[in-house]
Amino acid sequence: MSEKRRGTGGTDVGPIVAMYRPELAAELAKYANATDVAMRLLFDIERPRTAVMSRGLDAEPRLRRAYLDAYGGILEEHPRPWVVQHPLNPWATCSPDDVSCGPSPFGGRLLVEYKSTSIFARHKWGDAESDEVPPLYGLQVQWCLEILDLPLAHLFVGFGRDFQENGTHQFLYEETRRYVIPRDRELAAMALGYCARFQAEFIECRKLPPLAPVHNKRAYSQLLKGKPWKPTEATEAPSQS
């Protein structure tokens, strides 16, 4: 089932798992934590749009064209944004970048996701055509594969640099790699279990986790005092390196 609704999406899974498995927080909660997720789900307080987030959204069409030029295939037509709910847990959602329906040497339908990252982070990724990707992105892919019930994903990554030219920000690619990630049902079940626990303990009870958020700290302070947060008030984000 597909519809617009607020739910626990792929980018939320890492922070939620990290709350219950703090030894994984360094990898899974780099950009937000479980309280940031709860503030969005409970109070509609979104994370500020950072330069990194903007880069990914702006660069996605270029990566899509590069992927099709390199590997071919036929991408399914879907509304944008495309939000898909888990068939049994409607609070669990994902927003796939694309689904390829072939022809493909892999056969059948497969998930296609695009990522843009700095060339200086290339050492964190494995060789092209492997499944060696940073844990945060691997978990996001498994979440999406579980909800879509697909056996395989291509994660197509553009490595590049940020430039300012004539006052306009640009991100120019120096290299692209495709990663081939098979579905891992055990990893997905682990993530779904922790997210179901989070849903029951915090979202359904309408309370915030015992963590200071990474973003929107002023709003968090107001909420702790029992005061409503006005959406028009400024939000703050960590500095971007």
In a domain, 240, yes or no: no
Residue 171: inside a domain, yes or no?
Answer: yes
User: What are the residues whose beta carbons fall under 8 Å from the beta carbon of 147, sequence distance 6 or more?
Assistant: 84, 85, 86, 87, 92, 93, 94
What tokens appear for 98 in the block? 């694309």
> Using one digit for the tens of pLDDT, what is the confidence trace for 157-193?
999 988 877 777 778 889 999 999 999 999 999 999 9
% of the chain beyond a pLDDT of 70: 87
- Helix, strand, or coil (residue 182): strand
How far, CA to CA in Å, does 56 sit from each of 29, 71, 118, 158? 18, 21, 11, 10
In a domain, 219, yes or no: no
Query: Domain span at residue 73?
Result: 10-35+46-211
For residue 123, give the CATH number of its domain.
3.90.320.10
Long-range contacts from 217-220, C-beta under 8 angstroms, 24+ separation:
219/39, 219/43, 219/45, 220/35, 220/39
In a domain, 2, yes or no: no
Q: Is residue 154 part of a domain?
A: yes
- Asked whether residue 91 is assigned to any structural domain, the reply reads yes
**110/162 Cα distance (integer angstroms):** 31
Examine residue 232 and state whether it is found in any structural domain, yes or no: no
**Count of domains in the chain?**
1
Q: Please state the pTM of the whole predicted model.
A: 0.88
pLDDT in tens, 129-144: 999 999 999 999 999 9
167 lies in some domain: yes
